[in-house]
Every structure is written in C-alpha cells, then in structure tokens.
A and B are shown apart, each in its own frame.
Chain A
Amino acid sequence: MRARARALGVLVAAVVVALGGAALVAGCGGGAGSYDSVQVGFLVNLTHGPAIIGLQKEFSDGLAGLPVLEHPFQNGPEEISALLGGSLDAAYVGPGPYVMAESRAPGRLRLLAGVVTGGQRLVATPSSGIRTIADLAGKKVAVPAHGNTQDLTLRLLLERAGLKGDDQGGTVGIVPVKNAALGDAIDGGVVDAALAPEPYAAKLIATGVVVPVAPADRQIARWRIPATVLVVTEEFATAEPAAVRALVAATARAVARAEANPAVVAKAFNDLIAEITGKTMDGKVLMTALANMTANTDIAPGSMQLMVDAADAAGYLGGPVPPATMVPRPG
C-alpha cells in the first residue's frame, strides 16, 4: 500500500515537473507590453556593414527614447530563433532566413527595408574547369548553410542552366560548408566551387585558390538579390511604432554613410572582428569585397520572391509565404 502511494507520488511529481517545463516553454519570450530598450541583432559579416557602423553612430543615442542593445550573431538561423523566441526585437538578417521564418511562423516578423544588395560570388578552383554555370554539372559546390541566401541563389542559377542540386535528383552536389572552413574544403578537394558571401569570396580570389565564374556573377547582379534586410517582430512594431520609424531612419542614414564611404565599413568590420577574434583581415581584400555590394535601402521588386520560389522548389518551406510579406512595410 505504501509502495503504491509512493509510486503515485512520484507520478504526480513527474506530471507537475513536466507541466511546469511546458509552461516555461510556452511562456518563454513573447512578453507583450512596453519596451525599455531595443534588442538589435546583426551578423558579423561584411554584408552587415551598415548595421555595424550604425550601431556605433546612428543608433548611439537610442531610438525614440529607447536605448539600443546590440547582439552580434554568427549565423542567420540563430538570429531568427532569437527573434522568434523574443530575445531580439529587430535584426539585420539575410533574406533566406527571413523567408524560412515567414513560412514557419507566419505574421510574426515584419520586413522594414533593404540594407545591402549583392555581396556574393560564385568562385571555382582553376583546375575544376568551371567557367560557366552549365559547367557545374557533376561538380560539388559549397554554400554556407541550407536555406541561406547563397544556397537559394545557387539553386536559382542552377535552374537557369537547366541543372538541379543532388538533393533534388540533379547532378550538382550542394555541400553546406561554414565560411570559416571553406578554405579547407577547397584545399582538400571536398568541393570544386563555392557560392560564397563577401569577404570570403574576395579573400579566396586574392589567395589565388579560386577564380570568379563571371557569367554567374553577372546573373546574380541582374537579380539584385538583397544580402541583408532589416526586420522587426510584429509585436515590437505594434507596441513601439515611433521606435520602428526611428530604426528605419537611422538605418537609412547608416546605409547612406556606408555607400558614400566604404572605408568606414572596412575599418568598423576589422575593429569588430579584432575585438572578437584578435585578428583582422587585409584592408585591400575588404575594399574589393565592398566594391561587390551596394548599400541600399531599396529592395528590388521581385528579388525577395525569387528567394521564396527557390526555397519552395528546394522543399525548405513549412507553409505558403504571402507575397505581401516580401514587400517592405516601414510604416
């Protein structure tokens, strides 16, 4: 009898602990109400240059009376998780992760503006014989991550050339390789080419291990695919419209400054990575990389939809993405 009562007690305790954990999961983040600061995320990437310099100057006095707290991230999916989990209110993020978020958590984020366009290149080892997009047939191409901007752009390029990735029954191996490991993957012959973000593409080209694939670069430039966009949580946008307007205005000022003087971006980026890693990158490489991108708050019509279509074809989407969410709503 006592043993049975003890077993029942253990069962009740287990239920209470489990329900408590579930309530914690359910309650974490998403707290409604007023904000006493703006939590802004960005990636430690050159394509996030306007955000990096903006946080030093344009945001330093806060947004509509709210102080800005900056949070650097290493990759877009984690940044999106932080946004959807309630740890961030606004973020500079690639269009790929934003599209994924809209498909799996519809209506939770709001696209405000573009930040940087371009900033990615298809590069290949000289020995691979890859000179055109069609030459990618039977070859292996690195992208930083599944579903990120480079992965989706590569799939668009392949589609134009009548090719497909190996995960869709095609002949082109699409291999996710973190930016930091890209050099090793190319040296080790794991991949023949890479659709790399800047400054990694410029760095690899400067070392001579790869050459740009010019036809692909021209096509990417024609699409005017954003490298970085500004998004906020819908909750923050509703609760703090003045702060959102100030965020958009401050971003526009930072973008204009970045476009007018790329050297400021190069210096701020080097200062940031020196703070994190203790190392810096060659200034010439950074300036070459910056020449391959445009700081611009406009998002080219249809460019975001291209990302949605590529993600859909790759089977990455969790649900439909309304075209309206791909158009900036800064107001």
Chain B
Amino acid sequence: MSAGRLKSVCWDIVRKGWFLALVIFLWWLVTAAGWADPYKLPTPGDVLSTLGNLFTERALLDDLGATLLRLVEGWAIGVTAGVLLGLITGGSRFLEDGIRPVIAGLQAVPTIAFLPLAILWFGFNGTAVLVITAFGTFKPMAISTYSAMHQVSPTLMMAGRAMGARGLFLQRTLVFPAIVPNLVTGLKLSWSFAWRALMAAEIVVTGAQGLGGVLELGREIGAIDVVIAVILVILVVGIVTEQLFFTRLERWVNRRWGLTGAR
C-alpha cells in the first residue's frame, strides 16, 4: 500500500470514527470518575467483558444469526410486497384512492400493536415474529414506492408515450428505472423499520432465539451490561450494513443514474 493510500485510509477511519470514539471516551470518563451509578451505567470495560462472555458462554453468535436471518427474510418479504403494492396502486387512480389512505393510516399504527394478532393467527413462535417484521417493512416500502411513482417527470412520461410506449412496456422500460433512486431510499427506511419491528417482537416472543430475547433476559435479571452489550451489537450490525451495503448501493445508483448529492 502506498503512503498516499495509507494516509487516505487512516483519514477515512478518523473521519468516520471520531464521534463514536468521543462517545466511548465520555462514557469511560463518566464511569471512571464515579459520576454515574454503576448499576445504571456500567463501565465500557465491564460491557466489553460481558460481550465476550455472551459470545463464548451464551452463544450470542447463534442469536445474532437467528435475528439476522429473520431480519433478511422479513425485510425481503416486506420489500417485495411493498414494491408490488406501490407499483399497482401508483399505476391506477382507482386503486390508489382506495388503498393509499389505508396504508398511510396504518403507518401511524406501531407495528408492534399487531403482535397480539400475529401470535393468535400464527402462534407464539418465530413465524409471528417474521410476519411482524415483514409487515413493519411493507408499510414504508409501499409508501416509498408510490411516492416515487408520483415523482416521475411528466415530461418523461409524455416523451415515452409519444414514442409509443404503453402499459407494462412503459412501466418496465420507463417508470421502473425512473423510480429506482427513490426506491433505494425506501429500502434504507424499511430496513430500519424492519429492525424496530423485529426487536419489539423478539422481546415479547422470547421463546424464539434472537437478540431481542437476550435483550429481554438482561432486562429481566437487571443486567444493564447485557442490555448495553446487545445494543452495541445491533449498532455495529447497523453501521456495517450501512457501510457495506446501503452506501455502496446508493453510490452505484447515483453513478448509474447520473445523480449527484449535495456534497
């Protein structure tokens, strides 16, 4: 690696990590100085040690794997359903008038409110959790999709129609490519909604393996270090997903569609 490249990588790490490092330093400072009640806020060292124990003794990796699998499955189902419904309703005034207000209204209802129904219909198991995750994903994805369809330039549509494009051909060759950048925003938004729904459901349906169950275990036995450790794991997964998947996807879409950001 050349000196220039090394310098660039180091600067990249500093630029992206300074805030996290500052938070951890302040956390350490507050606990080391004895300003915080250790029961309410354990030291970073204690949490790190607990995290190590969770991975070695409780097989947290299995819980993480179960949660991620459920998250990806629920998200994929929710995204597919949301995009399909968004495309269908966005393409028909009649369907949009009937369906859109209901979906928009549902968006205001916390997904976890549907958990009792999911448990009743699908059982007190991982299926209920998966359904809630998919439903949590579906709502913002559907809204993002038909909002994206409304933002397709009328000039573009007129040009397409003038060149003879109609029906599914018009949707496939013009509308869908035009909405992709907005869909990426929808994907990111729905990913965070999927996490929220999944964690809330896993906390209640604790029989199913997953991070939510470990979080609940920590709460139930008053182990705040376990609670913070699980939050850190979720945070790290969030950062990694953002950096490795969504940022790259966004960059690719921006490049492919000739879009540039504000910076």
A11 to B39, CA, bound (A): 29
A185 to B30, CA, bound (A): 44
B26 at the interface (CB under 8 A from A): yes
Tell me how many residue pairs across A and B have CB atoms closer than 8 Å: 99
- B22 interface neighbour in A15, A104, A184, A318, Cβ under 8 Å: A15
**CB atoms of B124 and A185 under 8 A apart:** yes
Q: Using Cβ atoms and an 8 Å threshold, which residues of chain B touch A315?
A: 57
**CB atoms of B36 and A25 under 8 A apart:** yes
A260 at the interface (CB under 8 A from B): no
In chain B, positions 163-206 with a C-beta closer than 8 Å to chain A are 204, 206
**CB atoms of A178 and B204 under 8 A apart:** yes
A188 to B221, CA, bound (A): 27
How many interface residues does B have (CB within 8 Å)? 32
**CB atoms of B206 and A97 under 8 A apart:** no
A22-B30, A85-B40 given; A184·B120 CB < 8 A: yes
**CB atoms of B37 and A77 under 8 A apart:** no
Shortest CB–CB separation between residue B85 and chain A, in angstroms? 29
In chain B, positions 104-138 with a C-beta closer than 8 Å to chain A are 119-120, 123-125
Shortest CB–CB separation between residue B165 and chain A, in angstroms? 49
A176 at the interface (CB under 8 A from B): yes
Segment with Cβ contacts to A, from B88-96, B145-153, B212-220? B212-220
**CB atoms of B220 and A108 under 8 A apart:** no
**CB atoms of A147 and B220 under 8 A apart:** yes
A256 at the interface (CB under 8 A from B): no
A32 at the interface (CB under 8 A from B): no
**CB atoms of B222 and A77 under 8 A apart:** yes
A146 at the interface (CB under 8 A from B): yes
**CB atoms of B39 and A104 under 8 A apart:** yes
**CB atoms of A318 and B223 under 8 A apart:** yes
Q: Using Cβ atoms and an 8 Å threshold, which residues of chain A touch B40?
A: 25-26, 28, 84-85
**CB atoms of A181 and B119 under 8 A apart:** yes
**CB atoms of B37 and A181 under 8 A apart:** no
How many interface residues does A have (CB within 8 Å)? 41
A77-B222, A185-B124 given; A22·B22 CB < 8 A: no
A14-B22, A25-B40, A25-B41 given; A176·B207 CB < 8 A: yes
**CB atoms of A108 and B39 under 8 A apart:** yes
Shortest CB–CB separation between residue B134 and chain A, in angstroms? 20
**CB atoms of B30 and A190 under 8 A apart:** no
A290 at the interface (CB under 8 A from B): no
Q: Using Cβ atoms and an 8 Å threshold, which residues of chain B touch A185?
A: 124, 207
Shortest CB–CB separation between residue B243 and chain A, in angstroms? 21
Q: Using Cβ atoms and an 8 Å threshold, which residues of chain A touch B57?
A: 315
A251 at the interface (CB under 8 A from B): no
**CB atoms of B222 and A101 under 8 A apart:** yes
Most buried by A among B30, B57, B124: B124
**CB atoms of B26 and A15 under 8 A apart:** yes
A72 at the interface (CB under 8 A from B): no
Considering only CB atoms, which chain A residue lies closest to B206 in the complex? A176
A177 at the interface (CB under 8 A from B): yes
17 CB contacts below 8 A, A to B, read A19-B26, A22-B29, A22-B30, A22-B35, A25-B40, A26-B40, A26-B41, A77-B222, A84-B222, A97-B222, A104-B223, A108-B39, A148-B220, A176-B206, A181-B119, A181-B124, A190-B123
> Chain A: residues with CB nearer than 8 A to chain B?
11, 14-15, 18-19, 22-23, 25-26, 28, 30, 75, 77, 80-81, 84-85, 97, 100-101, 104-105, 108, 145-148, 175-178, 181, 184-185, 188-191, 315-316, 318
Given A176-B216, A184-B124, 11 other A-B contacts at CB below 8 A? A18-B22, A22-B36, A26-B30, A81-B222, A85-B40, A97-B222, A105-B39, A181-B119, A184-B120, A191-B207, A316-B223
- 9 residue pairs, one from A and one from B, having the closest CB atoms: A22-B30, A147-B221, A188-B123, A105-B39, A175-B207, A26-B36, A26-B35, A176-B206, A185-B124
